[in-house]
A and B are shown apart, each in its own frame.
Chain A
């Protein structure tokens, strides 16, 4: 029974399940039923991915934390046997130089420390008024416009995009150019050529802007990076690439959380009412953690490779074995979160793995939290009658994108 659910392929004596598995139409928020069944059977087992290789699927919350924090577990995608996300990622390997994503300590530390200053607690807290204003302005514009509205284009996409602009130090006059190319660079509607052209235009633009900041500094990341270029710690192309990486990593993720979170709240009206009617910032903050856990939009499994043999849970991971970490498995692990299929905004959820774990844990997570606290804390209060202008069945979900979400969210009020 479990074999059928997991879609196993009979491989001689062993049945090895395929990964990824499909979500159920009936519940677009839950992890794939076959993944949950597999986890219940055995939290650490091999699975077959797109190229026929069989990396370890690490599903338990505790095991994920143990291994993601282990120095023997590497993100170096150039290692033979690395379990790439897709054929496209494997084939474009040579186009990707070392970055914060694909290096281990100590190289990783160098990249990371060049980018952390704008994301520290003090600095993201100082952005609250700006984020609140951007949110309110976009809600005003949506309310003044036609019904139904698409929450994705009206609010979910522009708020994070404008915040990245603020953070990077993109001048207001260039916001439209920046947003247009950012949307294309990450868009699923764009052709690969269009995406690459947009990314290229952004890289050139950012290199020019870094140059400008050398003589006209601001209080922003591009100025920080310009200083590091001046100090010989990095080069303009490397700095521009880091900025584009931040843009892409932080853009669609927050946008998806805003839209998908709104949809999840529509399906859980008591939870929506709790969030809408509260004055307590602690409740809003807790709700954000639970939505991060419940939705786990980074849903394709974090990819790693073992540098040495590792013993865990009575098994031995061999040096050179691939590792896949489906974060939703950890976030729906009943040992870590009782009754995980319940969206309970008041449960303690800070120990979720939605931002990953280990040295690569999301760089922008403090900013993401503040953005989501403000948007979730404002939208339903300002539009108490906000509701879905279609049915759940009509919604198109980003099943095949790196970050899960919805393509559009028609809403009315």
Chain B
């Protein structure tokens, strides 16, 4: 699974951080998403899927899993 984040769409809600803090962070100056792991391991897949579903701005895309 590859994770893509759409920075212009991101509204800094931080729901991704609550779901999968190993994979997502927020930048200090405005809270926009920072992708920490582009291809997370299988043990993180459920949490990353949660993050994608819960993102209010639909800024997380999951490719091929």
Contacts and interface: CB of A to CB of B under 8 A. Distances in A.
Interface of A: 68-69, 109, 112-113, 116-117, 119-122, 350-351, 356-359, 361, 365-366
Interface of B: 8, 11-14, 17-19, 21, 25-26, 28-32, 50, 53-54, 56-58
Given A116-B12, A121-B17, A358 B57 contact: yes
Contact of B31 (A69, A120, A350, A351): A120
B26 A359 contact: no
Q: Which 6 A/B pairs are nearest by Cβ-Cβ distance?
A: A361-B56, A120-B31, A116-B12, A116-B31, A120-B26, A121-B17
A108 to B, nearest CB: 9
B13 A117 contact: no
Contacts, number: 56
A116 B13 CA distance: 8
The main secondary structure of chain B at its interface with chain A is loop
B58 A69 contact: yes
Nearest to A65: B56
Contacts of B25: 121
A119 B26 CA distance: 10
Contacts of A357: 56
Contact of A359 (B17, B19, B57): B57
18 contacts: A68-B56, A69-B58, A112-B11, A113-B32, A116-B12, A117-B28, A117-B29, A117-B30, A120-B14, A120-B28, A121-B17, A350-B18, A350-B50, A351-B54, A357-B56, A358-B56, A359-B11, A359-B57
Contacts of B14: 119-121, 365-366
Contacts of A350: 18-19, 50, 54
A85 B53 CA distance: 29
Contacts of A120: 12, 14, 26, 28, 31
B28 A121 contact: no
Contact of A121 (B26, B54, B56, B57): B26
* Centre residue among B14, B19, B28, B54 by max chain A CB count within 10 A: B14
Contacts of A356: 56
A117 B54 contact: no
A119 B54 contact: no
Nearest to B29: A117
A54 B25 CA distance: 42
A173 to B, nearest CB: 29
Given A112-B11, A117-B31, A122-B28, 20 more contacts: A69-B56, A69-B57, A113-B12, A113-B32, A116-B31, A116-B32, A117-B28, A119-B14, A119-B31, A120-B26, A120-B28, A121-B18, A121-B26, A122-B26, A350-B54, A351-B54, A361-B13, A365-B13, A365-B14, A366-B14
A121 B18 CA distance: 8
Nearest to A119: B31
A311 to B, nearest CB: 18
A126 to B, nearest CB: 12
A263 to B, nearest CB: 27
Contacts of B12: 112-113, 116, 119-120
A366 B12 CA distance: 10
* Centre residue among A116, A122, A361 by max chain B CB count within 10 A: A116
A359 B28 contact: no
Contacts of B19: 350
Contacts of A69: 56-58
* Centre residue among B11, B26, B50 by max chain A CB count within 10 A: B11
Nearest to A358: B56
A34 B32 CA distance: 41
Contacts of A116: 11-12, 30-32
Nearest to A361: B56
